[in-house]
Structure 1
Amino acid sequence: MNGKTYDIFPGIFEKYFYSMTIVLGALVIGLFFAILFTFGATLLPRFLKRLVYGILTVFESVPDLLIVLSLQMFIIYIYQKTGWLISNVTVVYDDKIYLVPILVLSVLPTIQLFKITFLLLEEEKYKPYVNVAKSMGLGDYYILIRHVFRNVLFNLFLYFKTIFVFLLSNLFIVEYIFNIHGLMRIMLSPNTFVFLISTILIAVPFLYVFELAQWMIHKSTGEREKEAA
């Protein structure tokens, strides 16, 4: 890279775990806030639900670069006013930053997961088994958490692969702007072997994770269908 030669191993593993920590952190935060916002939105009147959904749709179109710059300026402003540095806004030398890149990268999955979860939840609420549960005297919150939300999580997993691909594409931008020397920066190398190793490190582990999770979901839903029968 840049006319210099570097050893691929073991340095690539350090960069790999650094990048994947940012990706997984963003995914966990996105899922947490998406679920939190979804529960909050279910308590709102119908017109407010549409308003929140519309605002998030508009916010989803905001470029990632604008979000990064806004967050960096906010951190600098807080530091100038209070002397408290929340986090470094860029990587200097061999330092590592986690908080700001994770927050920036979590914006897109938060909005996407919220919209998907919200629509799935609204769809599940009108299915026959919900009316049967209500006729049995079960409370709304119990039905929502115990039955509706569990079914939503199963369906939500189908969208995780797409969201994961979006995260990887945005990780290129995040690593470049924050000067992070992660796995995505290595993939820009003109060396084909380096690109191949980096791709395998991303594709193979998560392929097994998604396949295992899908198998567990099919097993769980199959057992529930047998119990229902």
Structure 2
Amino acid sequence: MKKLVHYILLSLTSVAGLLFFMSFPALFTFRGGDSEHLGIKLSAFFKGLAETSTQLIKPSSWQFFEGWFRETVIDRYTYSIEIIFVSLLFTIFIGSLIAYAFMHLSYSHRSKVKHFLNFFEGLPDLLIIFMIQMVLFTLYREFHIRIVTMYGLAGKEPLIFPMIINSILPSLFLAQFLIKIMEEEFEKHYILLGQAKGLSKMQLLFTHLTRNIVPIVSIHFKTIIYLVLTNLVLVEHMFILDGYIQELYNLMMEQGASPASILFYVGVFMLPVFIVERLVTFFGKNAGKARGLNI
């Protein structure tokens, strides 16, 4: 019952957020006829909110299924979903590789790696993607070296490059999280007992420590999923990819776009992401219970 109420409230707040988002521009208006200064007009905002809410419950605004099932929309949808889920695989692989390599470093080198990860964590996502973009531009312009196809041209969209770019920052975040958990786990008694028995660090890491941190990582993996999702907006825009984000943008820029159609388009896009997030969380909780962890 508690979970049912939670999901009902989650759905209601999502719809309320959409209505607020669509009505928010009406809050601002120019002062006077020819003024260049913006002012706030609450009455226009509430009027826009009421009109948007009315449009949402009108049956005539629900006729959007035919538009979504067009071939171009389906292609954009599958392309973006493919980028998201393969980016998650890249994120898990790169983040885990960094974390396990870190645990094999000497203590004198670990602090340098932590400073490096902390430095990149503090940089805005947009800046890092822009820097990568500029490096690839320079290599091609100065040395005629094209490492990857960056842009979608002539109906052919790149796959590997946006997936890698989309997973760089989430993988660094995952690496930081894994390093923190591993270092804490390495101080526990079962690790000390394994060291006393003469087990190698490799055996301790991959056989014992990994099994204990998987439930904790699974529970917090939703943060990684939504990092990948938000980075997709930047990647598709900066590299001119004809993905589903472009479809959402075109829909929202339409004059008098139906709130119901926007809610449907966003909901269909988020549904597989939400399902994966729920499955990972469910797996983490069950794995934790099997190992006697209270999570």
The alignment's TM-score, normalised by the length of structure 1, stands at: 0.84
Structure 1 187/139 Cα, relative in aligned 2: closer, same or farther at 3 Å? same
Query: How far has the Cα of 1:101 moved from its partner?
Result: 1.7
Q: CA deviation at 1:80?
A: 4.3
Partner of 2:275: 208
Partner of 1:9: 69
- 1:39 matched to 2:106? The reply is no
Structure 1 residue aligned with 2:284: 217
Q: What is the alpha-carbon distance in structure 1 between the residues aligned to residue 216 and residue 119 of structure 2?
A: 25
> What's the offset of the Cα at 1:84?
4.6
Q: Using the alignment, how far apart are the partners of 1:59 and 1:209 within structure 2?
A: 27
Does residue 195 (structure 1) correspond to residue 262 (structure 2)? The answer is yes
Matched residues in 2 for 1:213 and 1:40: separation? 25
Instruction: Report the Cα distance in structure 2 between the residues aligned to 1:124 and 1:83, rounded to whole angstroms.
Output: 48
AA at the equivalent of 2:241: I
C-alpha contact (below 8 Å) 2:91/2:168 kept by paired residues? yes
* Structure 1 match to 2:209: 148
Q: 1:134 & 1:71 partners in 2: Cα distance?
A: 42
Matches within 5 A, 1:118-137: 118-137=179-198
Percent of counterpart pairs with the same letter? 24
Distance across 1 between alignment mates of 2:116 and 2:287: 36
SS in 2 for 1:126: coil
Identify which range, 139-148 or 98-107, moves more after superposition: 98-107
8 A Cα contact 1:186 1:195, kept in partner: no
Q: Distance in 2 between matches of 1:93 and 1:173?
A: 21
| Cα distance in structure 1, aligned partners of 2:269 and 2:215 | 24
Structure 2 CA distance, aligned partners of 1:30 and 1:214? Answer: 17
Alignment-mate amino acid for residue 222 of structure 1: K
Label 1:61 to 1:88 Cα distance change in 2 as closer, same or farther (>3 A): same
Q: CA deviation at 1:225?
A: 3.9
Aligned match of 2:120:
59
Instruction: Classify 1:137/1:46 alpha carbon distance in 2 versus 1 (closer, same or farther; 3 Å).
Output: closer
Aligned length: 222
State yes or no: 1:100 paired with 2:161: yes
Indicate if the aligned counterparts of 1:187 and 1:198 stay in contact, CA closer than 8 A: yes
CA distance in 1, matches of 2:221, 2:123: 21
Tell me whether 60-69 or 138-147 shows the greater mean CA deviation.
Answer: 60-69
C-alpha displacement of 1:12? 2.6
Matches of 1:100 and 1:15, distance apart in 2: 17
Contact 2:215 2:285 in 1 (8 A): no
- 1:103-148 per-residue CA deviation (whole Å, 9 max, x = no partner) reads 2211211110010000000000011221233344433221111010
- Provide the rounded CA distance (Å) in 1 between the counterparts of 2:225 and 2:279: 16
Tell me the distance in 2 between the aligned counterparts of 1:103 and 1:214: 25
Residue type at the aligned position of 2:134: M
CA 1:171–1:85: 2 relative to 1, 3 Å = same
With over 3 angstroms needed to count, the CA separation of the structure-2 counterparts of 1:52 and 1:205, relative to structure 1, is same
- 1:143-177 alpha-carbon deviations (Å, 9 max, x no partner): 11101022222211222212222222221111111
- Secondary structure, counterpart of 2:105 in structure 1: coil
Alpha carbons 2:91, 2:174 under 8 Å: kept: yes
Contact 2:219-2:280 within 8 A present in 1 as well? no
Distance 1:45 1:135 in 2: 20
Q: Counterpart amino acid of 1:88?
A: T
Structure 1 residues 216, 142: CA separation in 2 closer, same or farther (over 3 Å shift)? same
Task: Give the distance between the partners of 1:143 and 1:120, measured in 2 at CA.
Answer: 14
Contact 1:186 1:194 in 2 (8 A): no
1:74 aligns with 2:135: yes
Q: 1:77 to 1:152 in 2, by over 3 A?
A: same
Q: What SS does structure 1 have at the residue aligned with 2:68? A: coil
**2:170 equivalent in structure 1:** 109
Deviations 1:10-53 (A, max 9, x none): 33322121112212222221221111111221122223211211
User: If you compute each CA radius of gyration, which structure gives the higher value, 1 or 2?
Assistant: 2
Q: Distance in 1 between matches of 2:128 and 2:281?
A: 33
